[in-house]
Amino acid sequence: MVVKMKKMELLLFYKERERFLDSLRSLGVVHIVENQEKCETPEIQSMLSAVRRCERITGKLNRIAGEIETGLPQRADGDAESILERFEELEARKEKYQQEISAYKKDAQILEPWGNFDPQSVKRLLSRGIGIRFFIASIKQYEAINQSENIIQEINRQNGQVYFIAIEKDQSSSIVAEEVRLPDMSINDIEGRIKELMHRIDEIDTELKQMTAYTGLIEKKRLEILNRYNYARTNESMAEEVSGRLLHLSGWVPDDKVDNVKAFFETHPVYFSFRDPLPNEDVPVKLKNSKFSRLFEPITGIYSLPDYSELDITPFMAPFFTIFFGLCLGDAGYGGLLLLGCLIAGKKLPAKMKPVLSLMTILSISTIISGILLNSFFGQAIFGGPGVNNAFFSYGVKTFSPLSPIDNGAKGTVFPGMSLAILLGFIQLLFGMGLKSYIGIQIGGFKYGIQPLASMLMILGFVVWAAHADLLGLGFPTFSVGPLLIGKVLVAIPLAVAYALMIVGLLLFFTFNNLDKKAFLRPLLGLYELYNFASGLLGNILSYLRLFALGLAGGLLGGAFNQIAFMFITTADGKINYASAGIIGTILVLIIGHGLNLGLSLIGSFVHPLRLTFVEFYGAIGFKGGSKAYKPFAKLEQ
């Protein structure tokens, strides 16, 4: 939920500025309304640059620390500024060496067709009047050169090109070919130089690894600068009134903290007031959710925080995202690996990473459950039965894996997961419309919630009618998800109910759209909106097929890797010989193949549920968003 806020206004005597700001920062509750123009001073910008500098270097050191098998214990015996300067010095040197290595490698590539020779010998010959020039020509050009007039020597042939030299004494050669300028170093010299630079880079990398012990010290410095930065911005945001003798400050306070803030203000010589936000004010947003929903708040923040007047979608998005992730990954084996990784990481990662691990644990469990329902364990069927072969267990598919693909022979394969994806899309979009209706009623009154409700009535009526009519032969009456015979339930609803729902829905839709327009214009505008609604709804529901498609693709790819892997140890008569020397190849293919498949599937399992949430679900809700986060003026500590 979005926490209710109160607008705070206060007046302060100018001599109390510093003491009051120190106390206000210690309170750590008030979100200051900053004066952006006054906060752009060179001093403040310098502080911001220093904070970003610390963040950049800390980020790089943390990445280096991640490559170290055993992390170094943190040290506090150094000077943070000296460490930052040393890091930048080493970073610049390493970049310079890498650029030199790239240049040397290009030189080596140029010299490679000419072989290893000493360029200094060419210079010595030139000092004695003998010149050597280097040319590249096509075979045809080379053969056309008049060798009676020119002294030439072929060195190499590559890719239809002839590499040759011309030897000159007392006169210049008249050769039609591309002349090249070679580096002043031999290949051996270049390789030696590259080796030396690589050694220097290794020394720098070793020192950088040692510097990872000072990330805590750098973070402490960052927080010190950030505290000064926040203090300076707040100080500059205090507007001077009455010839500078009074200072005015505005801010926002959570409604449940107002009494505490009032008690604090009463201990200081200030005049203050609190009021509710005005309709168009830019109010910072603070979310307050259950322990489960709170884990998904970073996902909400990827798109945008809700507008202050909107509903916090996080609690409603979280269950859907959990289900969608599990279906997209859709393999009990992969889910087990993720869960194991979370359990191991939980003992090593810092406390601030615990929420991320908790979220991943929930998603891992969802994946395991989905994998069992979809009957997949590292691409292999878990439970067998009619239409399911080569499973770990010869029975149980109908009981434990109702979403398992079933091979019906000549009738083809049935994929209950596809039906589930469509059903989930239908449910989420209807739920989103219901939320849109609720939000409209909360903001503008009952009439602003009628149009989304009308859309829901039309959809429900249409689905019941389509089941009775078997629209376009699409199988509405027989639609099912595993054992759930949804089509039969729809057919059991009287057709009159379908007509009533559609007629009432249409009347409400044409009457209560565009409430800011004249009543006689709404039916005409409603026709256009109905067209957009109907055409968009089908595309939105079909978008949910990606839940099925991604899970199916991952399962098929996993199964393909299994087949390739076991080919190494399958004998001519079709039996698997685990004692075969090919077992090494089997293990490598399984590890590399499933590792690649897991990595690709993980990316898709995050991206596609995010898209369904931010495009389809948010679109059904009419989500606006765009608010900034509530950030109280407080002293930051490590």
**What pLDDT score does 1 carry?**
84
**What pLDDT score does 79 carry?**
87
- d(CA 465, CA 501) in angstroms, rounded, equals 10
**What pLDDT score does 147 carry?**
77
In the chain (638 residues long), the average pLDDT of successive 10-residue segments reads 90 85 89 82 89 92 82 82 92 94 91 86 84 89 80 87 85 78 88 94 92 90 90 83 78 91 88 88 90 91 88 92 93 93 82 87 94 90 84 83 81 83 92 91 85 91 89 82 86 91 90 78 81 84 88 87 85 76 87 91 92 91 88 84
Strand partners, 32: 251
**What pLDDT score does 170 carry?**
66
**What pLDDT score does 638 carry?**
67
Taking each continuous run of H as one helix and of E as one strand, the counts in the chain are 22, 13
Q: Count other C-beta atoms under 10 Å from residue 21's C-beta.
A: 19
Q: What are phi and psi of 276, to 5 degrees?
A: -75, 155
Q: What are phi and psi of 80, to 5 degrees?
A: -60, -40
Return all residues near 542 (Cβ < 8 A) that are at least 6 apart: 422, 425
**What pLDDT score does 242 carry?**
65
Q: What is the pTM of this model?
A: 0.79
SS3 content of the chain, % helix, strand, coil (to 5): 60, 15, 25
**What pLDDT score does 386 carry?**
83
Q: How far is CA 449 from the centre of its chain?
A: 34
